[in-house]
Chains A and B, each alone.
Chain A
Amino acid sequence: MSWTIDDVEMSSRLVMGTGGASSLSILEDALVASGTELTTVAMRRFDAESRDSVFTMLQRLGIRVLPNTAGCYTARDAVLTARLAREALETNWVKLEVIADEDTLLPDPIELFSAAEELVLDGFTVFAYTNDDPALAKRLEDAGVAVVMPAGAPIGSGLGILNPHNIETIVSRAQVPVILDAGVGTASDAALAMELGCTAVLLASAVTRAHDAHAMARAMALAVEAGQLAAGAGRIPKRPLAVASSPFAGMVTAQ
Chain B
Amino acid sequence: MTDREHPPTIVLNGEHHELPGATSALDLIADVTGRELQTDGTPADGGRLGIALAVDGEVIRRGAWSGFALADGHTVDIVTAVQGG
Contact = CB atoms under 8 A, between A and B. Distances in A.
B30 interface: no
Interface residues of A, number: 41
Q: Chain A at the B interface: mostly helix, strand, loop or mixed?
A: mixed
Interface stretch (A18-26, A108-116, A161-169, A229-237): A18-26
Contacts of B33: 46, 48
A80 B83 contact: no
B32 interface: yes
A44 B79 contact: yes
Interface in B30-65: 32-34, 48-54, 57, 59, 61-62
A41 interface: yes
Given A41-B81, A45-B79, A155-B85, A87 B57 contact: no
A17 B82 contact: no
Given A204-B85, A205-B85, A46 B80 contact: yes
A88 B85 contact: no
A89 interface: yes
Contacts of B52: 43, 83-88
B84 interface: yes
Contacts, number: 104
Contacts of B83: 18-21, 24, 27, 41-42, 54
B2 interface: no
Nearest to A27: B83
Contacts of B79: 43-46, 84, 88
Given A19-B85, A41-B83, A43-B80, A84 B54 contact: yes
Given A44-B84, A88-B51, 14 more contacts: A41-B83, A42-B84, A45-B14, A45-B79, A46-B78, A51-B34, A55-B50, A55-B80, A56-B50, A59-B48, A68-B84, A88-B79, A88-B81, A89-B50
Interface of A: 17-21, 24, 27, 40-46, 48, 50-51, 53-56, 58-59, 65, 67-68, 70, 80, 83-90, 155-156, 182, 204-205
8 contacts: A18-B84, A24-B83, A43-B81, A44-B82, A45-B77, A46-B80, A59-B48, A80-B54
